[in-house]
Amino acid sequence: MRAFIGLLKKDLSLMKFWYFVWLTFMFIGMIGVYALSVYTSEPSITVPFLVTMAGFHVFLAPLSLLTVLNIEGKTQLWLYNPQSSFKLLLSKISSAAIIQLIAQTFISLYAFFIMKVLLDNGLIDSFSNFLPFKQGFLMQLGIFGTSMYISIWVIFLWTVYHSLGKYPAIRNFRWLGVILVWFAYNVLEVLFTKTKLFKNELFSFGVNVNIAPKMNYKMEDGWNILYTDANIPIVTIGLYIILSIIFFLFASWLLDRKVEV
């Protein structure tokens, strides 16, 4: 455990530069949009920015993870680390998850600030009228889950790319191999969705949640977030979680081969 914590601290240290850059631009955007809303006396214009910024956060963890992987790929530090590839990659995905959670916490605090501004200006009656806790929590959970899923794909495709480097004949065309892997997966996924097995009631099982956000603008009220029912496919999400675990374990196996980067 102590060794893993050491790896975690090292990965967080490598990620912190771009993370602070991300936070800096985020805070500049927050301040800029709020200043504009005060100048134009239109407090509701902060709402589209809030929704857009929250959506962009799905890329924070994957980009941070890719940065660390590229740094270690260039230095080949992981080749000489006594820890297993599983622990090395687990520490990186854990570090990415930590900074993702911290960033989404800042987004949540900014959302409370925006709601307070809207409440003071009489544009909403209460916090729950604008963003109920359930909807807010599920949206944040969706952003986090999507970000982690993309991060697993980053790890997997990165290891595929570098594992192909051991073959001189295709070393300069490794990017094509990555594209083919991604394309093949998507083709198989589409074919699977057309099978009778996928159309079974088991895969269609889900729960309807009033969570799907939709922006709405009215001259007298400004911007508002409306919610519509969205089906959450429980079994399908579980399948994606299983696939993510498989891709992660396969990436660890590839890294254990000590391929040159």
The verdict on residue 261 lying in a domain is no
Range from 15-29, 74-88, 154-168 carrying the lowest mean pLDDT: 74-88
- Per-residue pLDDT reduced to its tens digit, 228-258: 666 677 778 888 899 999 999 999 888 876 5
In a domain, 33, yes or no: yes
pLDDT digits (tens, 9 = 90+) for 147-161: 999 999 999 999 998
Over range 192-221, report the average pLDDT.
63
Q: Is the pLDDT of residue 199 over 70?
A: no
Domain with 116, as residue range(s), is 2-256
Inside any domain, residue 54: yes
Q: What is the pLDDT of residues 109-158, one digit of tens each?
A: 998 888 888 888 877 777 776 677 777 788 888 899 999 999 999 999 99
Residue 181 lies in a domain: yes
Q: Domains in the chain: how many in total? A: 1
Q: For residue 211, what pLDDT band results from cuts at 50, 70 and 90?
A: low
Q: Determine, yes or no, domain membership for 216.
A: yes
Q: To which residue do tokens 């509701």 refer?
A: 44
| Least confident span in 73-77, 162-166, 221-225 | 221-225
The model's pTM is 0.85
- Is residue 181 scored above 60 in pLDDT? yes
Residue 90 lies in a domain: yes
In a domain, 35, yes or no: yes
